[in-house]
Amino acid sequence: MRLTGHPSGRFLGYVHVQVGSRVYALPVEARRLSGETVELGENRSTLEPGFFTADAGRFGIVVDSDAPEAVVQQTIERGSADAARHISRKLLN
């Protein structure tokens, strides 16, 4: 896994997601997400709060830096669950 970062973001830490017997560390980044269009590898899209994937196996969780703490926590929890589903589909299929 490669860390995906952006100059306008702030690295918050990692969330550990266990799928089977493996543990994955997902970077969590806070960014201002007011309809911002970003480049994720070869694709340009609007980045939404939560789990995201990019080309070549890059993935992580992004939260809105302007959101209240409770919303940030919910976004991280939802992103972690989405990441577990995404990784298990790739790993177990």
pLDDT along the chain (93 residues), means of 10: 58 93 93 65 66 83 93 96 93 75
82 C-beta neighbours (distance < 10 Å), count: 17
What is the C-alpha separation between 27 and 82, in angstroms, rounded? 14
What pLDDT is stored for residue 12 in this prediction?
A: 94
pTM greater than 0.75 (yes/no): yes
Domain parsing of the chain, residue ranges: 10-92
Q: Which residues contact 16 (CB under 8 A, 6 or more apart)?
A: 23, 24, 25, 26
Asked if residue 75 lies in contact with residue 50, where contact means CB atoms within 8 angstroms, the answer is yes
